[in-house]
Amino acid sequence: MGAVPRTLELFYDVLSPYSWLGFEVLCRYKNIWNINLQLRPTLIAGIMKDSGNKPPALLPRKAQYLRNDIRLLGQHVQVPMQFPKDFFSVILEKGSLSAMRFLTAVNMEHPEMLEKVSRELWMRVWSRAAEKAGMSTEQAQGLLEEISTPKVKNKLKETTEAACKYGAFGLPVTVAHLDGQTHMLFGSDRMELLAHLLGVCEQLFPYCEPHCPPQVSLCGRRGNSPSSEMEN
């Protein structure tokens, strides 16, 4: 007890359904694991441009796969995902520049609202159910006016560049700062591996032999993984 919380940065874009899944899982675990979750609104279009990657949905077989994967994961992770009717228009034409600038402004002026407003935006794009995030009209208007200011534009650029510097080629990206090391994990499907790195696997699988890396975990136990023994 009294261990310093480990910082996790989550780089995300509301245009990205997998970002929503990663976001919800980490929001749930931020009150369970000893972590400090920093939300980082990022522009996925910027990541794609900088890395030379392209949206997976541009490959027909991946687009077909995505539909099912998002549907099944939505059920399993309990996030009310619905593929938008005109998916290509949403992703490729409309994009998320204003939305992500808006979230950047929220993060600068009212960071305590960032989680809820982000969720509300995902609900609009990726779900039929939309709730209000509880922001007053005045607050929202004020922030909307800010989105085309250099301050906000630059902040979104900086965050996107930071993600690129960590090696991002897509989103979501979770960056875990642990014992002087930095681990970049891509996708919403690396949360179990994240638990392994944080040394909290035994919370997920209490009946299994501990096999976390040989570092002190939350409760002071050392992992005793056979593979780490092979290395020693």
Is 16 among the catalytic positions?
yes
**Site stretch for a second copy (CB under 8 A), options 6-14, 24-32, 68-76, 87-95:** 68-76
* Residue of the chain from 76, 129, 132, 220 that contacts a second copy (CB under 8 A): 76
Torsion of CA 223, 226, 231, 232, to 10 degrees: 60
Amino acid at site 207: Y
Shortest Å, Cβ 167 to a second copy: 6
* Residue of the chain from 8, 10, 37, 73 that contacts a second copy (CB under 8 A): 73
Nearer to a second copy among residue 139 and residue 203 (C-beta): 203
Shortest Å, Cβ 53 to a second copy: 6
Cα separation, 53 vs 49, in Å, equals 7
Confirm or reject binding of residue 216 to a second copy (CB under 8 A): no
Confirm or reject binding of residue 207 to a second copy (CB under 8 A): yes
Residues touching a second copy, count (CB under 8 A): 42
User: Which residues belong to the active site?
Assistant: 16
